[in-house]
Chain A
């Protein structure tokens, strides 16, 4: 796609997203708020999986750590929106850096299994540490965010949506810029050929730790958005299902294409929560079918598919 056309499309999509609460009823804004929070999680995961070649099945862990941190700050200290957000970013990032020191020494399947193990540990910890996390009941009674220190709580779904959209856009821009920077080129080098990166003098340990920390910080921000919308957080928010959904969103959307991860997250969330709800709890089943269909029909995901070629090739195959 030509750069001019793609930036025009980007501006148009942002304008459409901004206009949503002005046109549609509040429940649409609420759904989209949840979609945006999970989309930011998927985008940060794509930085690991698609850009750097580090497949993670435990990305719900920094997301959940950010969510709990934001919830505790909002409940006990201040619900002035930027404060829980920044605390969540720091918490998610620190969590990723501390666990990353061990994890980034491994690669491929070993890395995948370690991410899964750490996330399961975090999940169990959230269930057991009742003094901090409220155990399996979770944390509730979290006040609505305020947009001025000590100001009025935001009650309009549309305003809350705009705050979530703003943070989503900033988070997306940070990840997009990371993949475009010289660091991003090094990360793609890591994905293509880690051994060669070492042989031209890169410390692959620090590269991997850096990207793991950035992805963790952005996932933490996504967690704080999740809490801002739901005003509730429970161990289920860092369960395996959340990690798997994020990875599914990345794969369906197309690895390495960040906007693809956004589309993937939208598809996954809407299929599971909205279409699934009307199927009497068979959302996960439908999600599985979507996943199988996506892998067979679009092995490179939405964003990685050359649609024009796909549609022009079909008739020729029919003739033959």
Chain B
């Protein structure tokens, strides 16, 4: 059994996975994963395509039941709890494909989360049109935090892809999470949008634990202090970002015969290698 190797802390870890397994018939999507995410940490979960990252995300978020194993949230067992219950206990998340309320403006999107936190999600006596300082202040604050104040009255369906990703974070932040799960937040973002997103995650309060599931290694090593690597459903490395960088097993999983230099540093990647960073620009070669 692979015991978690995280540094011992006085408080229980923000998130603990104990021997978490998910099987679809004979297929083992997540295989006996145990890990700890420290409170206030910036923890990345990486791995090649099909490694089981999104399945693991759904197990933690409550969208899928586990086959076996335990999921603990701040020391409490939440394995059997619904996604909504986990959200009420402070688990915020953003989806890989933006999941928003498209017929409303961004402010109403965020206010939906804020009014639930205020306990007024089913309130019949309170108007949603009249200003409610408890809810609207929080909503405006969250929209401002992600830099969408100027766009807050445009219909969400008309926002750009990058803006929707920002709004996803604002909605998640408005639930006042203790733990924020980000599923491939940079997927489909332009380099400029991606950079703005990194700034946004860096600006989050330091007592908020962030777990980021990501494909883009450049982004991961800019943000994360700890990295866990999944390969074929199993955990093959878990530790401080610098150590994981040097781990030969990780290199093997990602690159086969390639070298670490090509994986983690911004040296030009030969076109026949399967792994690419976001900076690939084939048109320049044609021009040269």
**Real complex partners, A and B?**
yes
Contact residues in B for A290 (Cβ distance below 8 Å): none
Is the Cβ of B127 less than 8 Å from the Cβ of A193?
A: no
Interface membership of A99, Cβ < 8 A: no
Number of residues from B at the complex interface, CB < 8 A: 38
Interface size, A (range): 20 to 34
Q: How far is the CA of A195 from the CA of B116 in the complex (A)?
A: 15
Mark interface residues in A181-194 (1 if CB within 8 Å of B CB, else 0): 11111101101110
Is the Cβ of A181 less than 8 Å from the Cβ of B121?
A: no
Is the Cβ of B171 less than 8 Å from the Cβ of A188?
A: no
**Among A183, A185, A196, A204, which residue has the most Cβ atoms of chain B within 10 A?**
A185
Shortest beta-carbon distance, B202 to chain A, in Å? 24
Interface membership of A110, Cβ < 8 A: no
Contact residues in B for A319 (Cβ distance below 8 Å): none
Cross-chain contact of A206 among B61, B108, B122, B174 (Cβ < 8 A): B122
**Among B108, B124, B172, B174, which residue has the most Cβ atoms of chain A within 10 A?**
B124
Known: A182-B123, A184-B128. A201 touches B115 (CB 8 A): no
- A158-210 contacts to B (CB < 8 Å): 177-178, 180-186, 188-189, 191-193, 195-204, 206-207, 210
Is the Cβ of B128 less than 8 Å from the Cβ of A200?
A: no
**B interface residues with partner A (beta carbon < 8 Å):** 61, 63, 82-84, 87-88, 92-93, 95, 99-104, 108, 111-113, 115-117, 120-129, 135, 171-172, 174-175
Shortest beta-carbon distance, A182 to chain B, in Å? 4
Is the Cβ of B121 less than 8 Å from the Cβ of A186?
A: yes
Contact residues in A for B100 (Cβ distance below 8 Å): 192-193, 196
Contact residues in B for A184 (Cβ distance below 8 Å): 128
Known: A181-B128, A185-B108. A199 touches B99 (CB 8 A): yes
Known: A182-B120, A201-B116, A202-B84. A196 touches B99 (CB 8 A): yes
Contact residues in B for A200 (Cβ distance below 8 Å): 87, 92, 112-113, 116, 171-172, 174-175
Report the nearest B residue to A174, measured CB to CB: B124
Contact residues in B for A195 (Cβ distance below 8 Å): 99
Contact residues in B for A197 (Cβ distance below 8 Å): 112
Known: A193-B101, A199-B99. A180 touches B128 (CB 8 A): yes
Shortest beta-carbon distance, A234 to chain B, in Å? 35
Is the Cβ of A210 less than 8 Å from the Cβ of B113?
A: no
Contact residues in A for B126 (Cβ distance below 8 Å): 181-182
Q: How far is the CA of A114 from the CA of B204 in the complex (A)?
A: 46
16 CB-based A-B contacts, threshold 8 Å? A178-B124, A181-B125, A181-B127, A182-B122, A183-B123, A183-B124, A185-B112, A185-B128, A189-B104, A198-B82, A199-B61, A199-B99, A200-B113, A200-B175, A202-B84, A202-B116
Cross-chain contact of A180 among B120, B127, B171 (Cβ < 8 A): B127
Q: How far is the CA of A303 from the CA of B27 in the complex (A)?
A: 52
Contact residues in A for B104 (Cβ distance below 8 Å): 188-189, 192
Is the Cβ of B122 less than 8 Å from the Cβ of A210?
A: yes
Q: How far is the CA of A195 from the CA of B125 in the complex (A)?
A: 25
Report the nearest B residue to A195, measured CB to CB: B99
Q: How far is the CA of A122 from the CA of B88 in the complex (A)?
A: 39
**A interface residues with partner B (beta carbon < 8 Å):** 177-178, 180-186, 188-189, 191-193, 195-204, 206-207, 210
Q: How far is the CA of A178 from the CA of B122 in the complex (A)?
A: 10
Q: How far is the CA of A210 from the CA of B124 in the complex (A)?
A: 10
Cross-chain contact of B175 among A177, A181, A185, A201 (Cβ < 8 A): A201
Q: How far is the CA of A103 from the CA of B88 in the complex (A)?
A: 25
Contact residues in A for B95 (Cβ distance below 8 Å): 196, 199
Is the Cβ of B116 less than 8 Å from the Cβ of A185?
A: no
Is the Cβ of A201 less than 8 Å from the Cβ of B84?
A: yes
Shortest beta-carbon distance, A296 to chain B, in Å? 23
Shortest beta-carbon distance, B163 to chain A, in Å? 17
Q: How far is the CA of A200 from the CA of B93 in the complex (A)?
A: 8
Shortest beta-carbon distance, B9 to chain A, in Å? 27
Contact residues in A for B117 (Cβ distance below 8 Å): 201
Q: How far is the CA of A191 from the CA of B128 in the complex (A)?
A: 17
Cross-chain contact of B101 among A180, A196, A203, A210 (Cβ < 8 A): A196
Is the Cβ of A186 less than 8 Å from the Cβ of B122?
A: yes
Beyond A181-B126, A183-B122, 4 additional contacts (C-beta under 8 Å) are A188-B104, A200-B87, A200-B92, A200-B174
Q: How far is the CA of A199 from the CA of B101 in the complex (A)?
A: 13
Contact residues in A for B82 (Cβ distance below 8 Å): 198
Known: A185-B111, A186-B115, A192-B101. A202 touches B127 (CB 8 A): no
Contact residues in A for B88 (Cβ distance below 8 Å): 201
Q: How far is the CA of A199 from the CA of B120 in the complex (A)?
A: 17
Known: A178-B124, A180-B129, A210-B122. A185 touches B84 (CB 8 A): no
Is the Cβ of B175 less than 8 Å from the Cβ of A182?
A: no
Contact residues in A for B92 (Cβ distance below 8 Å): 200
Report the nearest B residue to A206, measured CB to CB: B122
Is the Cβ of B99 less than 8 Å from the Cβ of A193?
A: yes
Contact residues in A for B172 (Cβ distance below 8 Å): 200
Contact residues in B for A207 (Cβ distance below 8 Å): 121-122
Report the nearest B residue to A191, measured CB to CB: B103
**Among A182, A186, A207, which residue has the most Cβ atoms of chain B within 10 A?**
A182
Q: How far is the CA of A201 from the CA of B118 in the complex (A)?
A: 12
Q: How far is the CA of A197 from the CA of B1 in the complex (A)?
A: 37
Contact residues in B for A178 (Cβ distance below 8 Å): 124
Contact residues in A for B121 (Cβ distance below 8 Å): 182-183, 186, 202, 207
Is the Cβ of A186 less than 8 Å from the Cβ of B84?
A: no
Contact residues in A for B101 (Cβ distance below 8 Å): 188-189, 192-193, 196
